[in-house]
Amino acid sequence: MYQLTFSLQEFLSQYWQKQPTIIKGGFANFQDPITAEELAGLTMEEEVDSRFVSNKDNVWQAEHGPFSEDKFADLGESHWSFIVQAANHWHAGAAQLVEPFKSMPQWLFDDLMISYSVKGGGVGPHIDQYDVFIIQGQGKRHWRVGAKDVGQYKEVSNHSALRQIESFEAIIDDVLEPGDILYIPPGFPHDGYAMEPSLSYSVGFRSPKEQELISNFADYVLAHDFGDTHLHKPDLATQSNFGAISSSDLASLTQMLQDNLADPIRLKDFMGCMLSQSRHQLDIVQPEPVWSAEDIAIHLESGQIIEKVAGLRALFHEDEPHLLYINGEVIKLTAAMGELAALLSGSDSLSTDAFSQPVESDAIALITDLVNKGYWFIDEE
Ligand code: SIN
Ligand code: CO
């Protein structure tokens, strides 16, 4: 079990989206949840998003996985790294590292990225639009962080797959050791080089951009066939210039657009659907044959658990806890199923122990449906 040695609440009020900082010994007696070999194994999987970056003699190379075993054959002892995105979706041990951050909202959480670097390996100076906690695992890594980007950092194109910037003046320049955490808010340039074989775990948070909200809302409106109407304005008056858009017509059209954004129920549903979709591939496998409600009930009664797919988002609006948004779909639970709703959204697994009363048949029916969709699963090994 991973535990932070500091108060996340105090950290948030002091640093979150304000200042980068290093928390020495953010984890006490840190143990890596994964080995470099296991991580290399993940880069060979088709579904897993991975990258390899090398910078021997300052010549940058970068490529996307999946890789074959010979990729790792004669790499030499320095200046390369490989990176796995959303490692929490594919490695249960690594997913444990996200646990201490679960008092922050899941919709903001993006993924756990893990990188393995040998001496001199890194991805070069760059700026991210993410908030990230970079946890140092095995080995030591030298990090430099500059002042917030106010448009002064020039981009350089050493490789089309890398978004690097020119070097920058450091406001943080330090060596991370196992268990240390570097927090970097969006917009602060940074650069980290391994000093010896090193594992880094980046717990990343990302909020939607304004333009993503607009474009996703447009998709939502189309998918639900809302607003399939033209402007209806019977009181048209003649005008002296054919080309003029009258202020009155502009106001009517603007109103039409704003009406769509003014419906709080629609916006709430849209936000729930959008925010409940993971930005990274999920390990969803539909069971075959499907489970019957009876077998699910027996499974739970025998004291076994049903696990949630790692990274799956089951969200609810604070004032409407019975409406669950699961991976972009909305599911309405009855008021009597409040306990189930809280468990589905807030917990990694279901078991009879977690319920204060015997699990009711409509709850079993819903769980069965979620298992048959592949959102929750029974590990039969
Ligand atoms: C890395 O771990 O190599 C890159 C992390 C980052 O700077 O975003
Ligand atoms: Co970065």
**Among the atoms of ligand 1, which is closest to the Cα of residue 81?**
3
304 and 201, same domain (yes or no): no
49 and 194, same domain (yes or no): yes
Which residue's CA is minimally distant from atom 2 of ligand 1? 115
Residue 318, pLDDT > 80, answer yes
The beta strand positions in the chain, using DSSP E, are 21-23, 50-54, 61-64, 80-84, 109-117, 131-136, 141-146, 155-156, 164-165, 170-176, 181-184, 190-194, 198-205, 306-308, 314-317, 320-326, 329-332, 349-350, 376-377
- What confidence category does residue 327 fall into, taking pLDDT thresholds of 50, 70 and 90? very high
Q: Please, which residues have CB within 8 angstroms of residue 223's CB and are 6 or more apart in sequence?
A: none
**Among the atoms of ligand 1, which is closest to the Cα of residue 132?**
8
**pLDDT at site 355:** 86
> How many of the other CB atoms lie within 10 Å of CB of 367?
23
- What confidence category does residue 329 fall into, taking pLDDT thresholds of 50, 70 and 90? very high
Q: Give the neighbor-by-neighbor strand order of the sheet with 141-146.
A: 170-176, 141-146, 190-194
**pLDDT at site 356:** 84
Mean predicted confidence (pLDDT) in 316-334: 96
Distance in Å, CA 192 to ligand 1 centroid: 7
Strand partners, 174: 143
Q: For residue 164, tell me if it sits in a domain.
A: yes
Q: For residue 274, tell me if it sits in a domain.
A: no
Place of tokens 């409940």: 276
Write down which residue in 153, 170, 205 finishes a domain.
205
Which residue's CA is minimally distant from atom 5 of ligand 1? 202
- Pick the ligand that lies closest to the CA of residue 200: 1
d(CA 62, CA 123): 9
**pLDDT at site 273:** 98
Q: For residue 218, tell me if it sits in a domain.
A: no
Q: For residue 276, tell me if it sits in a domain.
A: no
Q: For residue 211, tell me if it sits in a domain.
A: no
Which of 115, 143, 168 has the most ligand 1 atoms within 8 A of CB, as the residue to mutate?
Answer: 115
Residue type, 18: K
Write down which residue in 161, 188, 205 finishes a domain.
205
200 lines ligand 1 (CB under 6 A): yes
371 lines ligand 1 (CB under 6 A): no
179 and 322, same domain (yes or no): no
d(CA 201, CA 207): 20
Residue 161, pLDDT > 90, answer no
Average pLDDT across the chain, whole number: 95
- What confidence category does residue 50 fall into, taking pLDDT thresholds of 50, 70 and 90? very high
Q: For residue 154, tell me if it sits in a domain.
A: yes
44 and 176, same domain (yes or no): yes
**Among the atoms of ligand 1, which is closest to the Cα of residue 121?**
3
Residue 359, pLDDT > 90, answer no
167 and 302, same domain (yes or no): no
Sign of the torsion formed by the C-alpha atoms of 152, 158, 159 and 164? negative
The domain tally of the chain equals 2
Distance in Å, CA 345 to ligand 2 centroid: 30
CATH number for the domain harbouring residue 368: 3.40.366.30
200 and 338, same domain (yes or no): no
Residue 160, pLDDT > 90, answer no
pTM reported for the whole predicted model: 0.95
Write down which residue in 182, 205, 228 finishes a domain.
205
Mean predicted confidence (pLDDT) in 132-136: 98
Residue 261, pLDDT > 80, answer yes
- What confidence category does residue 380 fall into, taking pLDDT thresholds of 50, 70 and 90? confident
Note the Cα 358 to chain centre separation in Å.
Answer: 34
Q: For residue 235, tell me if it sits in a domain.
A: no
d(CA 267, CA 122): 42
Residue 336, pLDDT > 90, answer no
CATH number for the domain harbouring residue 134: 2.60.120.650
**pLDDT at site 16:** 98
Q: What is the pLDDT of residues 266-311, one digit of tens each?
A: 999 999 999 999 999 999 999 999 999 999 999 999 999 999 999 9
195 and 306, same domain (yes or no): no
Going by C-alpha positions, the residue among 280, 141, 128 that lies closest to residue 200 is 141
146 lines ligand 1 (CB under 6 A): no
Q: Two tokens at 223?
A: 């998918």
H-helix segments, the chain: 8-15, 36-42, 92-95, 210-223, 247-262, 264-275, 293-301, 338-346, 361-372
Residue 229, pLDDT > 90, answer yes
> Reduced to 3 states, what is the DSSP secondary structure of residue 23?
strand
Mean predicted confidence (pLDDT) in 34-47: 97
163 and 19, same domain (yes or no): yes
Q: For residue 3, tell me if it sits in a domain.
A: no
Going by C-alpha positions, the residue among 168, 192, 269, 177 that lies closest to residue 223 is 269
Q: What is the pLDDT of residues 69-106, one digit of tens each?
A: 999 888 899 999 999 999 999 999 999 999 999 999 99
Residue 225, pLDDT > 80, answer yes
145 and 33, same domain (yes or no): yes
298 and 188, same domain (yes or no): no
How large is the C-alpha radius of gyration of the chain?
A: 25
Distance in Å, CA 328 to ligand 1 centroid: 29
The answer to whether the bond into 66 is cis (omega within 30° of 0) is yes
63 and 196, same domain (yes or no): yes
Segments forming the whole domain that contains residue 361? 293-377
Mean predicted confidence (pLDDT) in 154-166: 88
Distance in Å, CA 21 to ligand 2 centroid: 14
d(CA 67, CA 69): 7
Q: Please, which residues have CB within 8 angstroms of residue 341's CB and are 6 or more apart in sequence?
A: 316, 321, 322, 324, 333
> Reduced to 3 states, what is the DSSP secondary structure of residue 268?
helix
Alpha-carbon separation of residue 70 from 44, 50, 73, 74, 370 (angstroms):
11, 16, 5, 8, 40
> How many of the other CB atoms lie within 10 Å of CB of 246?
12
115 lines ligand 1 (CB under 6 A): yes
199 and 307, same domain (yes or no): no
